[in-house]
Amino acid sequence: EGRIAAGSAIPVAFHVISDKKGVGDVPAAWLDAQIEILNRCYAGRDYDGNPVAGAANTGYTFYKASVDRSRNPGWHKMLPGSSREYHAKLRLGVDPKTTLNIYTAGPGYGLLGWATPPEWLASLEVWHGVVIHWASLPGGPFTYYNLGATAVHEVGHWLGLAHTFEG
């Protein structure tokens, strides 16, 4: 409620967070490829743009509205619910009521990403957005996990989808 309308064009603000050596400072082409994958998958297509039988076109489209880059080793290693995540999102986030904020970082513990659900927006606005491991972007070095599916999955949570095992 009071948020992005169903089936609308969604501006994406990318926040590229690298460590002190620049690890995670991904090229713009990877971000563009991620937008393309989001648009294909949310239109009922596969990664290559082919129609998927039974898959719905959600009507959502995504476009890259902005990109900022930060070299911050603390934020780069953020974990869900941590003070590092809070401070990165507080400093970098663009209006979460109108914009999908995607933070690329290098979280530990084997995490590929996480998202805040829409019901958190009213009370926890600063936390809102999606965090993905930079190496999971299309073109990234995570073999088998570098097709852009992490962002597709987490954006689904951001839009309000739950895991099938969550009822």
Catalytic residues: 154
One-letter amino acid identity for 136?
Answer: S
Token output for 100 = 């999908």
Task: From 136, 87, 128, select the one nearest 107 (Cα to Cα).
Answer: 136
Beta bridge partner(s), residue 100:
12
Beta bridge partner(s), residue 63:
11
Alpha carbons 58 and 86: distance in angstroms, whole number: 31
Q: 3-class DSSP state for residue 131?
A: strand
Alpha carbons 152 and 159: distance in angstroms, whole number: 11
Beta bridge partner(s), residue 102:
14, 130
Q: CA–CA distance from 18 to each of 2, 55, 81, 107, 141 (Å)? A: 33, 35, 19, 11, 15
